A and B are shown apart, each in its own frame.
Chain A
């Protein structure tokens, strides 16, 4: 095992949380503080983003974007890359709803404070609503259909600069328009002297604040740059450790580390289980050009679902449709006429839904759909079908029997779309908003960290990612993660100042 120098602060992960912490602490480098960011994924060059579906999914996502839950009934999508999942999201940037933060009931976490901090990153990352000429038919039809069907349709602010409308956001922007941490926070941190090492997986965190790190070799023919460090195992010493490897990565890391972690570690996992629904219009529409996700309908509070515009790639679309054979093929061949809507169920922390590790220390996600979550998917599917028909679609493909709903079915959606068609293993449910596992709270009896991401009982270890959420956020999580990470960075600055004060 190689021995590397010690660092004052080691940040594990470089996504919305890790990238933010790195940037916020970067000015400390001037005072001699040594900061290291360890990222499991590679650093990609601009030309690596080809937009080819399987090639990019394999390069960017864990298990090609299809990490299976323990019972195999849902796939989870999360990225491993310089910039984490901010490389692959669509850039949709909302601040946390007040009612959700209140319901979390975390002592010391104030909605106003979180909103102010999230707003700082919205400004930094150029978050704004897209101009009308850039909106494609797929999004426009959602607005028209949604309003006709009586829904409040809202526009997503997105973090793009110079978007050319490739529609390939989820495969990494080929035009570097999306302002994730890979474009904004990490480069700033590196310019200030923060060291970022990619292809570096942290295997364990020891009670003596040392980290066992494995740096992987770049395999022949794969995308991305080689690691900044030579391949091999390292023993890195840190004074302060920030775990920001995502809800699954952070929970699994702490679970396989020999630390006196609170009992609830890994518990409270939520993920906004999602379904992709498609409808066929009588004429071609612009769908695979333009920003894919510009509008949404938020029925989280009343009916446990959020609808978002979306546009996916051929394989993802094919696997999301119910059934197989001629009917399935006919819909696929209607691709230029397809409108798509993503239905997100607003799930809540439930006993048994958790991140665990297997004997090898790899993450295992246990997740069962509660009746309430399934109900959110069912209600969301009905609402999406209403919007499709109101927008002029001639048929909708949905989890139903048979799966094609014709215009005549528009009046009897309650009857056609029911929970019995949503049994696990019958529909392609996936999730990309992975949350919980290291929930914030008052004490070790009810949570893993305090409101500043400090792990109870371990004053040198903080968490700065979506694993902090004690329950689901009910909207896209990135700005909230950044707001919480900003608090974590502030807590560290205060700790360091206090230490220096004592030393003086």
Chain B
């Protein structure tokens, strides 16, 4: 799976629903942030991530007879919710990692920070007067 694959975007829009409204350039920005973060990790972590994403795509076959990227949004959300509560630490941790990367890609963009009303400024109080 690559970061611009249907699976990644399917999970990303489930984690942050507003991501569905991003234009191609904004998706590129989001994916570039995630790619940089992944590249900075060790090979072992990168391998674990790739393996987990493969698992993420195909695990729903057991229950829904479809891979994750082809599930409707409601079922996708339900599946991911189960994953974050899974009894197996491996699954919880894997989802936590993917979720963190998506949140970094989305909220790490200055436009997203502005959109939620985050206004911190180096000038501090002076900027609010």
Give A contacts to B, CB under 8 Å. 49-54, 58, 63-64, 66, 68, 71-73, 134, 163-168, 174-175, 286, 288-290, 313-315, 317-319, 323-326, 328-329, 332-333, 335-336, 423-426, 428
Contact = CB atoms under 8 A, between A and B. Distances in A.
16 contacts: A52-B110, A54-B108, A58-B40, A66-B100, A72-B96, A164-B125, A167-B124, A314-B112, A324-B84, A325-B14, A325-B17, A326-B17, A328-B15, A332-B107, A333-B117, A428-B96
B108 A315 contact: yes
B104 A288 contact: no
Nearest to A423: B92
Interface in B7-41: 14-18, 33, 37, 40-41
Contacts of B93: 71-73, 424-425
B89 interface: yes
B85 interface: yes
Given A329-B16, A332-B107, A166 B122 contact: yes
A72 B97 contact: yes
Contacts of A68: 45
Give the dominant DSSP class at B's interface. Answer: helix
B120 A289 contact: yes
Contacts of A428: 96, 100
B85 A426 contact: yes
A166 B121 contact: yes
Contacts of B37: 64
Contacts of B117: 333, 335-336
Contacts of A286: 128
A164 B124 contact: yes
Interface residues of B, number: 44
B108 A53 contact: yes
A288 B122 CA distance: 11
A323 B84 contact: yes
Contact of B116 (A165, A174, A332, A423): A332
Given A73-B93, A314-B113, A335-B117, A324 B124 contact: no
Contacts of B62: none
B72 interface: no
Nearest to B80: A324
Contacts of B41: 63
- Of all A-B residue pairs in the complex, the 7 with the closest CB atoms, nearest first, are A425-B92, A165-B124, A164-B124, A174-B122, A314-B107, A318-B103, A336-B117
B59 interface: no
Contacts of A288: 118-120
B99 interface: yes
A426 B85 CA distance: 7
A66 B37 CA distance: 10
B127 A289 contact: yes
Contacts of A332: 107, 116
Contact of A166 (B103, B107, B110, B124): B124
A168 B122 contact: yes
B77 interface: yes
B63 interface: no
A315 B110 CA distance: 10
